[in-house]
Amino acid sequence: MQVTGNTILITGGGSGIGRALAIAFHQRGNTVIVTGRRQVALDALASEYPGIVAARLDVDDPADIQRFAEWVGKAHPALNVLINNAGIMQPESWRADPVDLAIAEAIITTNLLGPLRLVAALLPQLRVQPAPVIMTVSSGLAFLPLTLTPTYCATKAAIHSFSQSLRYQLKDEAAQVIEIVPPYVQTELMGERQAQDPMAMPLVDFIDEVMSILETQPDVDEVLVKRVDPLRFSAEQGVEGYRSQFLQFNGHFHA
């Protein structure tokens, strides 16, 4: 991926990683379109950084995705980069009787069905561009799940798998599929406490390292900052090593 001269759509662009990516790409000379749940946050970003376009899109709604695809095709026909970043993360208890599936179903809709539907809707426009990019945002928890958030981790594992399959299916086309795999980052994904947690990677450091990888490795498939390596390569320890890390990791959060 070339990091300048693109027209880029970023879902979940009003806060956290999405907002920071929008600013970073905007500062490198790209046309950036951001969507999200909170119009106020999107408008504030566009006001602070003139040139960033704030657009309405509900990734949970298939009809709205189709409406948006038609709009962006007319308003921004040069769109060549899609960054599927929107996501939600909530704790769940599967010990309850009965289990309340509302949280799990909401997470699956936003984190998995949303990106799949948006890729399907925008792929016809993307594939006619000279340098199309489909970028997904998974998580280190796709490789070593946090059992407090089982459905979130499952959706991110699915995004990783989908990214691999999509990359292979499009290998004979110009399209590039890139997966960003964040570690625990200082965002408000799980609330204000996470944004201030000294155990989390500072957002600015994460974005700086991500952009450096994209700039120096234009053919990269997975964007892996050093901080995510212990999660991403947990399985490489073998069965016993993985089991030990899994128990220690989740024991810490359940303590």
Give the residue numbers marked as catalytic.
152
Least Cα distance to 20 among 159, 215, 200, 202 occurs for: 202
Least Cα distance to 154 among 204, 104, 203, 226 occurs for: 104
Least Cα distance to 10 among 71, 66, 53 occurs for: 53
Question: What span, in angstroms and rounded, lies between the C-alpha atoms of 13 and 30?
Answer: 15
Question: What span, in angstroms and rounded, lies between the C-alpha atoms of 73 and 79?
Answer: 8
**Angle 77-123-213 (CA atoms, 0-180°, nearest 5)?**
90
Main-chain dihedrals φ then ψ at residue 251, nearest 5 degrees: -60, -35
Least Cα distance to 119 among 30, 59, 174, 161 occurs for: 59
Burial classification of residue 197, based on how many CB atoms lie within 10 Å of its CB (0-12 exposed, 13-18 middle, 19 or more buried): middle
Question: What span, in angstroms and rounded, lies between the C-alpha atoms of 117 and 142?
Answer: 20
Residue carrying structure tokens 């053919």: 219
